[in-house]
Amino acid sequence: MKILGHSLFVLTFIALGFYGFARPALAGAGVGVLANQSVFGQVDAPPGVAEFNAQIRGGGVGPDVEGIGIIIFASNLIRIATIIAGLIVFFNFIKAGYSYIASDGSTKVNEEVKNTLTYSILGLVIIVASYTIIAIISLLLFGKADFILNPIITGPTP
């Protein structure tokens, strides 16, 4: 039932898409004539999206070209994730230190504290180094260090 609902949704979208961008021509009409009779009209970006788009406007193409702001949004997400990770590690350290103080020196607590500290540091290193890791991977595979970090989406004619 769920799958049916999903496929219906997708099908509707595909149908809408075709209606919007591939309108069948009327008799004798050329392509140019056809485009002027816009069936769907112009859809504007929602408020938040429009602001992100405005930040990337132009994007090296032209001042009036609307950029795709999802890249900036993703960058913000990553920045916030890094901050949150730092905070979590900070509290992990405090927690580990506290349980170390409060322990009676048993090996079980020692082990736990050791693991918490090790994996916190490891995780933080991975998160902080993720830019570098990604840059190395893209340099290795695509020959361009910013292939992933500065993604460029191209149309049918590159």
Partner 1 sequence: MACDISQRNLNLGDCYALNSNQAVKDVYSTPAVLVNLIVRNIFVIAGILLFFLIIYAGFLFITGNVKGKEKAKEVLEAALIGFLVMFGAFWILQIIKVVTGTDIWTG
Distance CA 145, CA 148 (A): 8
Alpha carbons 53 and 65: distance in angstroms, whole number = 10
47-55 and 70-102 are packed helices; what angle lies between their axes, rounded to 10 degrees?
Answer: 100
39 near partner 1, judged by CB under 8 A: no
Assigned token pair, 22: 């591939």
Q: Which of 66, 67, 68, 123 binds partner 1 (CB under 8 A)?
A: 123
Tell me: does residue 94 bind partner 1 (CB under 8 A): no
> Which range, of 1-9, 57-65, 97-105, 111-119, touches partner 1 by CB under 8 A?
111-119
Taking the C-alpha atoms of residue 144 and residue 138, their distance in angstroms, rounded to an integer, is 6
Stretch that binds partner 1, among 20-28, 45-53, 60-68, 101-109 (CB under 8 A): 20-28
Enumerate long-range contacts of 57-66, CB under 8 Å, 24 or more apart: none
Interatomic CA distance for residues 32 and 58, integer angstroms = 26
Residue 23: partners with Cβ closer than 8 Å, 6 or more residues away:
34, 37, 39
Pick the closer one to partner 1 by CB: 5 or 28: 28
Compute the least distance from the CB of residue 66 to partner 1, in Å.
Answer: 15
Nearer to partner 1, 53 or 71 (CB): 71
Asked if 92 interacts with partner 1 (CB under 8 A), we say: yes
Footprint of partner 1 (CB under 8 A): 21-32, 34-36, 74, 78, 81-82, 85, 88-89, 92, 112, 115-116, 119-120, 122-127, 130, 133-134, 137-138, 141-142, 147-149, 151-158
